[in-house]
Chains A and B, each alone.
Chain A
């Protein structure tokens, strides 16, 4: 089976940095994904890691350690529009994604 854990909620101040951790135990591994989902909307793709290390994309960065079954999503220079749920997902084969329950990030002024 698949087990993907991430914190339920996080709160941070506008302009600050927040790190969302994700740990996973899956039967296979073929990539780790982060999606953003605003309330009442569809998820949108943020990042993809398949090799160990850091991937940076603007204010967002994602890190992967396959040996530790661990990833994090780093959000820098937080803006109010970053208030959303962030979903960690692992692909264990070619097509199947398993998602964590999501982390709701609230950005305060």
Chain B
């Protein structure tokens, strides 16, 4: 693994189903983030984690949950998917911003369609 990876690449999901998007990084970054990107709205932060064991809410957290059991993994779960969650989801990581970590590295994205 080099950098940050996401799985699946794309998914079509029936409304009401549960779905977990996976994100793994091998850069030993403390901070990780989940964004969704919608046409005309740009990237919006869903949840973030500044270190393993802690998470925080972003701009649009409703309907999503995250966990951070270790440094490398930061899964995003949709407990009961709805069509409005159709989007492209990007995971990102960075060094601790409080210690000069300014650049966020983005994964390749997951394209999710909820029908």
Contact = CB atoms under 8 A, between A and B. Distances in A.
Given A95-B50, A102-B42, A42 B59 contact: no
Interface in A82-109: 87, 89, 91, 94-102
A99 B108 contact: no
Chain A binding surface SS class: loop
Interface residues of A, number: 22
Contacts of B50: 94-95
A9 to B, nearest CB: 12
B55 to A, nearest CB: 11
Interface string A38-79: 000111110010000000000000000000000000000000
Contacts of A87: 42-43
Given A33-B102, A45-B103, A96 B45 contact: yes
Given A30-B97, A42-B108, 16 more contacts: A2-B59, A31-B102, A42-B107, A43-B43, A48-B102, A89-B43, A95-B31, A95-B48, A95-B50, A96-B58, A96-B59, A97-B45, A98-B45, A98-B59, A99-B42, A101-B40
